[in-house]
Chains A and B, each alone.
Chain A
Amino acid sequence: MATLKDATAIAGIGQTAFAKHLHESEKTLACRAILAALDDAGVSPAEVDAFASYTMEETDEVEIAKAIGAGDVTFFSKAGYGGGGSCATVAHLAAAIATGQANVGVAWRSRKRGSGPRPWKNTTAQLPTPGQWTRPFGLLRPADEIGMLTRRYMHEYGATRDHLFNVALACRNRANQNPAAIMYERPLTREMYMTSRWISEPLCLFDNCLETDGALACVVVGAERARDCRRRPVYVHSVAQSLPAQHHGMVNYWNDDPLTGPAWAAARQLWKNADLGPQDVDVAQIYDAFTPLVPLSLEGYGFCGRGEGGPFTEGGALEIGGRLPLNTGGGGLSEAYVHGFNLINEGVKQLRGVSTAQVPDASTCLVTAGEGVPTSALLLRS
Chain B
Amino acid sequence: MTDSDTGYLTPVIDEDGAPFWSYAAQGQLRVQACASCDELRFPPRPCCPHCQSFDSTWRRMSGRGRIWSYVLPHPPLLPGYAEQAPYNAVVVELADAPHIRLVGNVVAAPDAPLNSVDPARLRVGAPVRVAFTEAGGGVAVPRWLLER
Contact = CB atoms under 8 A, between A and B. Distances in A.
Interface of A: 118, 121, 123-124, 126, 129-141, 143-144, 147-149, 151-152, 155, 197-203, 246, 248, 251, 253-256
B35 interface: no
Given A144-B73, A200-B74, A136 B135 contact: yes
B45 to A, nearest CB: 10
A255 B93 CA distance: 11
Contacts of A200: 71-74
Interface string B1-28: 1100000111111101100010000000
B71 A152 contact: no
B12 A148 contact: no
Interface residues of B, number: 43
22 contacts: A123-B9, A132-B12, A132-B13, A132-B14, A133-B102, A136-B11, A136-B141, A137-B114, A138-B77, A138-B87, A138-B114, A140-B77, A144-B71, A148-B70, A148-B91, A152-B69, A152-B91, A152-B124, A199-B73, A201-B74, A251-B103, A253-B68
Nearest 7 CB-CB pairings of A with B: A152-B69, A201-B72, A132-B11, A147-B71, A198-B74, A139-B89, A155-B124
Contacts, number: 115
B86 interface: yes
B105 interface: yes
A152 B68 contact: yes
Contacts of B64: none
Given A137-B105, A138-B81, A151 B12 contact: no
A124 B12 contact: yes
A217 B145 CA distance: 51
Given A138-B87, A253-B91, A254-B99, 10 more contacts: A124-B12, A126-B14, A135-B9, A136-B8, A136-B10, A136-B141, A137-B104, A139-B103, A199-B73, A203-B71
B42 interface: yes
B116 interface: no
Contacts of B70: 148, 151
A151 B86 CA distance: 16
Interface in B56-88: 68-74, 76-78, 81, 84, 86-87
B56 to A, nearest CB: 16
Nearest to B139: A136
B101 interface: yes
Contacts of B43: 129-130, 133, 248, 254
A239 B61 CA distance: 44
Residue in A123, A131, A137, A141 whose Cβ sees the most chain B Cβ within 10 Å: A137
B18 to A, nearest CB: 10
B49 interface: yes
Nearest to A131: B12
A123 B102 CA distance: 20
Contacts of B13: 132
B69 A148 contact: yes
A197 to B, nearest CB: 7
A101 to B, nearest CB: 34
A132 to B, nearest CB: 4
B113 to A, nearest CB: 11
A137 B9 CA distance: 8
A256 B17 CA distance: 21
A137 B141 contact: yes
A61 to B, nearest CB: 31
B130 to A, nearest CB: 13
Nearest to A156: B124
A220 B77 CA distance: 40
A131 B74 CA distance: 20
A168 to B, nearest CB: 18
Interface in B101-148: 101-105, 114, 119, 124, 135, 141
Residue in B71, B100, B119 whose Cβ sees the most chain A Cβ within 10 Å: B71
Nearest to B16: A130
B141 A140 contact: no
Nearest to B69: A152
Contacts of B49: 246
A200 B70 CA distance: 10
B131 to A, nearest CB: 14
Contacts of A126: 12, 14
A211 to B, nearest CB: 11
A126 B17 CA distance: 13
A286 to B, nearest CB: 23
